[in-house]
Every structure is written in C-alpha cells, then in structure tokens.
Amino acid sequence: MIGIDLTKVSRMERLINRFGDKALKKFLTDEEISLVKNHKTASGFWAVKEATSKALGVGIGAKCSFFDIVIYKTKNGAPKIKLSDKIIKSFNIKDTSVSITHDGDYAIAVVAIECY
C-alpha cells in the first residue's frame, strides 16, 4: 500500500507562529517535537502522518490517529515510522518505508506499507 501527501510549508509556519509548540502537540509526540528543527521539518512530519493514514486507506480519524504513527530518525538521520500495536494488528503490517522531501513552499512525503 502506498500513500502520498503534499503540505504547504507556509501554512505550518503560520500555525507555529500563532500557537507555538501547542500547535505541534496536536499531531506530534514530545519526542517528535524534539526532532523538529523548523516549520519545514514540521510540515514534512505532518505529510508523513497523512501519507501513512492514506496508505492504510483510512485517513486520520477513529481508525488511525496522529499518535498511532510515530516518526523517528536513524543514526544517519533518515526518517522512519513506528506504528502502534493497534495499527500493526488491525492492518497486518509487516514493514514500512518513508521518504520526505522539501521544495520551495512544499513538503512531500511518500509512505509504503507492506502487509502479510
């Protein structure tokens, strides 16, 4: 299963300028917030969570919340995602892959999910 999301960076910048970390806490854990360098990183993280929910075919909502998807980085700085046990069991997840890119005023994420 594959999901993709495109996020406008300036929208995230306005959100952070207006609400600060309170805005980030709506969709990121404290550990994820510690990885956010700026509004571009936050936009990429938003895109990852949206792309993951799209790959699952459910979107963000009752079946998959922002907090069922946790973003972390490898020692080399590559993004990875960890899914909640609920999601892994519900969708028979075997493995995931994620890619984030930024260009101008956009952040794009692609997520591939392999199921059993």
Catalytically annotated residues? 54, 102
Radius of gyration of the chain (CA): 13
The two structure tokens encoding residue 12? 């995230």
User: Alpha carbon of 64 to those of 10, 23, 57, 59, 84: distances in Å?
Assistant: 26, 19, 10, 7, 9
3-state class of 59 per DSSP? coil
Cα 39 to Cα 13: distance, rounded to the nearest angstrom: 5
> CA angle, 49 as apex, 8 and 68 as ends, to 5°?
155
